Structure 1
Amino acid sequence: MTAHSELRLLPWSGPDGKPCYLSTDNDSSHLSRLADSTEAIQLGLADNFVTHALGVLDNEETDPDELRALAADLVGALRDTLRVATSRGQRLAPSQPSAQGGEDDLRLPAAAFG
């Protein structure tokens, strides 16, 4: 990823629940690396919750309280995943239309996918 001077949405909220941002032109700074690591952990947890949810939903005898707890976990994981996607989307370089496909032929760089 190249360095940017724009604000980066961090993968955590402040104590009042408001978004936190980082202003740096160094993608290798301690806080940038901490944010990258936190994003990776959040995405891994979301993947684990999906796998767990599939198992719970296959069990016809799942307790309603377990379903409610699972739903809360999934909502939290989805919230974190959306924050990661938003942050990464904001950091993408503006796309250039390809010579062949026009503006409808949008391609993301491999770095956009982690």
Structure 2
Amino acid sequence: MNGVRLLPWTGEGGKPCYLGTDGTGRLSRVADAVECVQLGMADELLEHAADILADRRATPAQLRFLLARMREALTDVRRIAESRGGG
């Protein structure tokens, strides 16, 4: 085992999940795939945010929904950064 990895999902009660790993196992590959999806979704959300913010007709409900999704995406990105040693 080379170390402990923070996984890109939480456990019971929102607690962080860790994996003792050398980075080559099946669960590490699943975590890599989940992180890839999370980062892709964050990219798509940023594009959507630019569109919504440019639309002067955007409603408060649309903006609140966007903000809630951006909070989720930022939480995921922060967890990924922490997992990779950048947080």
TM-score range, shorter chain: over 0.9
Q: Name the counterpart of 1:15.
A: 12
2:29 is matched with which residue: 12, 28, 33?
Answer: 33
Which residues in structure 2 correspond to 1:1-114 (within 5 Å)?
5-25=2-22, 27-89=23-85
Across the two proteins, how many residue pairs are aligned to each other? 86
Q: Following superposition, which runs of at least 4 residues in structure 1 exceed 2 angstroms of deviation?
A: none
Larger strand share, 1 or 2: 2
Q: Secondary structure of the residue that 2:12 maps to in structure 1?
A: coil
Larger radius of gyration: 1
Q: Secondary structure of the residue that 1:16 maps to in structure 2?
A: helix
Shift of 1:80: 0.1
Shift of 1:16: 1.1
Task: List gaps (5 residues or longer) in structure 1.
Answer: 91-114
TM-score by length of 1: 0.72
Shift of 1:14: 0.4
Q: Name the counterpart of 1:106.
A: none
Once superposed, what is the RMSD of the aligned Cα atoms? 1.1
TM-score by length of 2: 0.94
Q: Bigger relative contact order, structure 1 or 2, given CA contacts below 8 A and separation 6+?
A: 2
Q: Percent identical across equivalent pairs?
A: 48
Q: d(CA) in 2 for partners of 1:15 and 1:71?
A: 25
Q: Secondary structure of the residue that 2:85 maps to in structure 1?
A: helix
Larger helix share, 1 or 2: 2
Opposite residue 5 of structure 2, the aligned amino acid is R
Q: Secondary structure of the residue that 1:89 maps to in structure 2?
A: coil
